[in-house]
Chain A
Amino acid sequence: MTVNEWIFVGLFLALAWLLPATPIILAKFLAPKRPNPIKQQVYECGVETTGNTWVQFRAQYYIYALVFLLFDVEIVFLFPWALAYNKLGLFALFEVVVFIVLLVVALLYTWRKRALEWSS
């Protein structure tokens, strides 16, 4: 990469900050502010909040987080592969199958170890 190409990386970096920052700042100045108790509530997927929002979570959540991460990362790898599928050929198919089989092994393991059941 020459220096010129790095300038684009810098530009994108600046743009990545600018794009989300602009509407937030604009809203701050332009939006009308008429707060009431219902609007001030903590957002919980639209369900009315009950009790204190500062509760402790069960440590068991970490397993869900791990399994979620597993499939989150899977998507990151599979999406570009799916887009370029017809150009990559047998090699990439083989690699992806190996990748998915490894994930299936992990999922099977968590399932059989009853890590996906809540009460234990």
Chain B
Amino acid sequence: MFEVPSLSDLNVGATLPVTLLALGACVLLVVDLFIPRERKSITAWLTAIGIGVSLVFSLLSLSGAVEFGSGELAFSDMYRADRLTDTINVAALITALLGVMVAYDYLERTRLQRGEYYILLMFSAAGAMLMGAANDLVIVFIALELLSIPLYILSGFRRPQEASEESAMKYFLLGAFASGFLIYGIALIYGATGTTNLPEVWDAVAGVVAEDSAAKFLVMIGAGLVLAGLGFKVAAVPFHMWTPDVYQGAPTPVVAYMSVAAKIGGFAALVRVFGMGLSTFVLESGAPAAWQDTIWLVAVLTMLLGNVVAIVQSDLKRLLAYSTIAHAGYILIAVAAAGTAGLEDTAAQAVVIYLIAYAFTNAGAFAVITAMEKDDASNTSLDALRGLASRCPWLAAAMAVFMLSLTGIPLTAGFVGKWFVFKVALQADLVAAAVVGVLTSAVSAYYYLRVVWMMYFEEGEGDAATPPALAWAIGVAAVGTLVLGALPYLLSDMAREITLAFGG
């Protein structure tokens, strides 16, 4: 018979960062109703405080200074609060905080100032955090929906502007389709292993492979479908089609947030599902996991397509959209490396390091576009950059830092991320993928440095407005990018203790 758990079994303490954020969003939803329309800055502040409190709890948990809850597992083995959870929490919360700061003035000047923006942003951040903490395939799915549905709405936040509505519609339809793939994949894995709990899947998959039964086939198809569903979220080729259109149409502050948050959530879930749950899925003993070849192939395609197509873009938002596709490819190399036995932990560390470096850099780059963009969503073309350095020297300097970091020049955070990713790829004998990664990085230098060139060495009317909150966001992102680049041990120390191993 079903045994009724007691309240202490829930271990709510271990889930405090995400529980507090979700609770805060619910409370704010009600509080916001009583805040008059012209004073929505209160909502923005309350959101920032809510995210800040959750961030403090995450950092305390990460530093090990305070032990929250008893043990790693919570909510009947659904939630796992380990080192990976903590680091993903920190990355998601920093992104959310930057997202609020970037959005505030933009919403004010485009008259979109509604409390729902901040509340939806909080909910989706909670979704990204839950994806990193998932210990069960069902939680992966629910967290993905919690991350995605607010993002669909946020993309269309600029209604009745057509581009924004179109972007929301495209994102929603394709996203719902991708969710279908994911849930079908989960169903097949459940069919083969009889469980959705990741450690149990891990156990069961080894048995399934050993028995050489038809279930092996089920796991293979299931893993492929899960990869398709999550690949859509992180914009990996061939599931990338929506990215440029959605990013171009959606309000720029939303893109600054979602281009990072969706990747954090998606890659955290990929690491959990493949690195943890399916790492025992080997077809012959001693060989790497069966999904490794597929993932590194997807990674190579993603890097090639993202970087090559980005070269010909004339719109800055579209250019960065293709750049986000390219970066999904780099991180996927690390995910593929997790397929080699013994490298799961190192690969997960590389993923987290890259994600945190990427969070600062990419959110910052889109924040600069937000500053350039006019109220009617124009002025985001590459030409608008000409001469920006003479009018807004600080903004141009920050943009230059972000572009260098996206290229992966040493002394920027992007370099640290790429270094760890390529290192783990070589350890896993994925030489081809690493070589393609290095070569496409060189290609990407062309279009990233062209941005810098246009700002500094071409004459033009480039102009931007940086109100305080936005200026702070850009400043924090630029300083973060530089500090993490100059002191790489900050990132590696933070990630060092990430382990995916569990009782087996």
Residues of A within 8 A of B (CB): 87-92, 94, 101-102, 105, 108-109, 112-113
Contacts and interface: CB of A to CB of B under 8 A. Distances in A.
Nearest to A102: B26
Given A87-B4, A90-B7, A91-B5, A108 B26 contact: no
B6 interface: yes
B4 A89 contact: yes
Q: What 7 A-B pairs have minimum CB-CB distances, sorted nearest first?
A: A112-B33, A105-B26, A91-B7, A88-B4, A91-B5, A108-B30, A91-B6
B20 interface: no
B362 to A, nearest CB: 32
Interface in B27-43: 29-30, 33-34
In this complex, the member of B10, B33, B34 whose beta carbon has the largest number of chain A beta carbons within 10 angstroms is B33
B33 A108 contact: yes
Classify the interface of chain B: helix, strand, loop or mixed.
helix
Classify the interface of chain A: helix, strand, loop or mixed.
helix
Contacts of B26: 101-102, 105
Interface of B: 4-7, 9-10, 26, 29-30, 33-34
Given A102-B26, A105-B26, A90 B33 contact: no
Nearest to B26: A105
A94 B75 CA distance: 13
A102 B29 CA distance: 11
A109 B30 contact: yes
Contacts of A92: 4
Contacts of A108: 30, 33
Nearest to A88: B4
A21 B29 CA distance: 47
Given A90-B6, A94-B7, 17 more contacts: A88-B4, A90-B7, A91-B4, A91-B5, A91-B6, A91-B9, A91-B10, A101-B26, A102-B26, A105-B26, A105-B29, A108-B30, A109-B29, A109-B30, A109-B33, A112-B33, A112-B34
A113 B4 contact: no
A105 B33 CA distance: 11
Contacts of B29: 105, 109
Nearest to A94: B7
8 contacts: A91-B4, A91-B5, A91-B6, A92-B4, A105-B29, A108-B30, A108-B33, A113-B33
Nearest to B25: A105
Contacts of B30: 105, 108-109
In this complex, the member of A101, A112, A113 whose beta carbon has the largest number of chain B beta carbons within 10 angstroms is A112
Contacts of B5: 91
B11 to A, nearest CB: 13
Nearest to B9: A91
Contacts of A102: 26
A6 to B, nearest CB: 16
B16 to A, nearest CB: 16
B41 to A, nearest CB: 20
A111 to B, nearest CB: 9
Contacts of A87: 4
Contacts of A113: 33
Contacts of B33: 108-109, 112-113
A108 B26 CA distance: 11
Contacts of B7: 90-91, 94
Contacts of B4: 87-89, 91-92
A88 B6 CA distance: 9
A15 to B, nearest CB: 26
Contacts of A94: 7
A113 B37 CA distance: 12
A94 B10 CA distance: 11
B51 to A, nearest CB: 19
Contacts of A89: 4, 6
Contacts of B6: 89-91
A108 B4 CA distance: 31
Contacts of A105: 26, 29-30
Contacts of A109: 29-30, 33
A60 B431 CA distance: 59
